[in-house]
Chains A and B, each alone.
Chain A
Amino acid sequence: MNSELWIALTPIVLLAVILHYMPLWRRQNLWFGVTVPQGFRDTAEARQILRQYRIRVWVLSAIAALIGLLASTRSLVWLLPGAILVSTFASIIVFAMARSRTLPYSTPVAARSAPLTPDTEALPGGTAVALGPFGMMLAAALYLHANWQQIPARFPIHWGGSGTPDRWADKSWLTVYGPLLAGALLNLFILFMGEAILRFSPRARVANTAEWTARFRRVNVRLLVVVTWNVALILTWFAVLPLIANNKAIGLSWLIPVVLTLGTIAPFIWQLIRLSQEAGTGSDGTPDRAWKLGQFYYNPDDPALLVEKRFGIGYTLNFGNRASWWLLGLLLVPVVVLALT
C-alpha cells in the first residue's frame, strides 16, 4: 500500500473506532443526544439502537475505505479526500438516525438548577501558564531575527513520511515568521475558548450535577491550556527548522512533537471519557428540540455561548447566539488575510 492510501485509511478507521464508542461518552441521562430517564441506556431498546448505529457506522466506514482503496489502486488521488468526507458526513447521518429512534423515549427536564455563587473560576495556572507559549514563540522569533543571515534563501516547509523535504519556500518575513504568527493567533483563539467555557457556558442546570460539571469543565479547560503549549512547541520547532535542519532531511525527528502532543493530550481525553462513565451525571439541562440533527445547538432563548456537546467530548457553540456567528466570522479573518497575502 502506498503512503496516500495509509493517509486516507488511517483517519477512516480511527473515526470508525471513535464513533463506535462515542455514544457512551456522554452524561448517563443522554442517549444519542436525547434526554432519557435514568437507566435507559441499559434497556433492550437502547442496546438495539446502539447495535444498529454501530452496524451502520462500520458499513459506511467500509464503503469509505473501499473508495480510498479504489482511489489508490487507480491513481485517482482526488478521490482520497472524498473517502474521508464520506466517512465524516455518514457519521452525522447515522447519528441523526439513531437519535430519531431515541426521541420517542425523550423525557425533557423542565426543572433547572443553578449554584448561587459568583464566577470564581479562572484558567489553570493563571497568567504565567497562559502567557508561557507566547513567550516561547517570541523567543523563537527573536532567535530567528538574530540569525536572519543564516537562514537559507530557500528552505523546506514540508517533509514526507521518511523526513525528506518535498516542498520548499523562498525566504521572506511571512515564510519565516508565519508559523509563529499563526501559532500566536491560534493560541489566542484557544485561550479565548477556554475563557468562554468558564464565563459563557452553564456551570450546571440539573440538580446535583454541579460538582460533576465543575470537574468536567476543569478538565476541558486544562486540556485547552495544554494544547496551547503543544501548538507553541510544534510551531516553534517548525519555525526554527530552516536554521537547524540546514536544508537536509530531518529523519523521523518530526515524530517527536507528534508523540509529545499525543502523550500530553491523551491523559485528558481519557479523563473525560472516565468522567462520563460515572454514575449520577444526569443531563445537561438543554432542551432536546434545540439540537439540530442531535449535534448542532440552536437556541436563541439560551444566553449561553457554549454548551456541552451531546455527541463527542467538549463544548460546542450555541448557533442561536449571535456572538457565535461573530466568532466564526472572526475565525475566517486570518484565512482571508493569508489568502490575500
Chain B
Amino acid sequence: MYSRQMNSTPPIQIDLNGSVPVNRQIVDQLRTLLVDGALQPGNALPSVRRLAIDLGVHFNTVADAYRTLANEGWLEISHGRGVRVVDRPTEPANADTYHVFQQRLRQLIAEARAQGISVSTVAQELLFLAEGLKS
C-alpha cells in the first residue's frame, strides 16, 4: 500500500514565514536533491495536487516550481504519467549564467560575512558543498 520511495527519498521542507517565496524554496530544495543525486532519472515525484495538499500551499505554487525545473531540463511533466526526473546532460555554463551565479553567490557571502562567519569558514563550506554535490 505504501511506496518504498517514502523512506529512501528525503522529504521536502518549506518555511511559510521565511523571506524566500515558497515556490522558490521548493525549486531550490528539489534542485539540490537532483544535483546531489538523491533524486535519480526515472524517479517519480508527487503530482502537483499531491505536493500542494501535503504542503498546504496553492496548486499554482507547486506547478510554478515544477515548471521552472522542467524548463531547466530536470523534470518531465506529463498528464498521464505525472512528474518524472529525467536525465539531464550538464552543459558548460555560458557567460550570462556564470554572471548570475556570481551575483547570487556574492550576495550570499556578503550576508554570511555580515553575520560574522569568517572568510575561511565560508571558503571551506563552499569547497565542501561543491565537492559533495555529485553532478
Contact = CB atoms under 8 A, between A and B. Distances in A.
A207 B9 contact: no
Contacts of A113: 11-14
Given A118-B82, A285-B56, A303-B59, A110 B46 contact: no
Contact of A112 (B14, B44, B59, B82): B14
Contacts of B1: 120-122, 124, 218
Contacts of A214: 2, 6
Interface in B53-79: 53-59
Contacts of A124: 1
A201 B59 CA distance: 14
Given A112-B56, A204-B54, A205-B55, A117 B6 contact: yes
A121 B11 contact: no
B23 to A, nearest CB: 13
Contacts of A285: 56
- Interface SS, B side: mixed
Interface residues of A, number: 31
B131 interface: no
A203 interface: yes
Interface string A91-123: 000000000000000000011111111111110
A202 B11 CA distance: 13
A20 B6 CA distance: 37
A301 interface: yes
A115 B38 CA distance: 13
A121 B2 contact: yes
Nearest to B54: A114
Contacts of B2: 120-121, 214, 218
B47 A119 contact: yes
Given A204-B54, A205-B56, A286-B56, A117 B9 contact: yes
Interface string B3-20: 101100111111111100
A301 B58 contact: yes
A119 B10 CA distance: 16
Nearest to B39: A116
Nearest to B29: A116
Interface centre among A113, A118, A119, A121 (most CB of B within 10 A): A118
Interface centre among A115, A116, A202, A207 (most CB of B within 10 A): A116
B49 to A, nearest CB: 7
Nearest to B13: A113
Contacts of B54: 114-115, 202-205
Contacts of A286: 56
Contacts of B47: 118-119
A145 to B, nearest CB: 38
B21 to A, nearest CB: 14
Contacts of A115: 6, 9, 11, 46, 54
B35 interface: no
Given A111-B13, A111-B14, A111-B15, A117 B3 contact: yes
B46 A119 contact: yes
Contacts of B109: none
B42 to A, nearest CB: 12
Contacts of B5: 116-118
A200 interface: yes
A5 to B, nearest CB: 46
B27 interface: no
Contact of A201 (B3, B44, B51, B53): B53
Interface in B70-95: 82-83
A304 interface: yes
A309 B128 CA distance: 45
A275 interface: no
9 contacts: A110-B15, A110-B16, A112-B57, A116-B10, A118-B3, A202-B54, A202-B56, A285-B56, A304-B56
Interface of B: 1-3, 5-6, 9-18, 30, 33, 39, 44-47, 49-59, 82-83
> Which 10 A/B pairs are nearest by Cβ-Cβ distance?
A114-B54, A110-B17, A120-B3, A117-B5, A118-B44, A116-B9, A117-B6, A113-B13, A110-B16, A114-B55
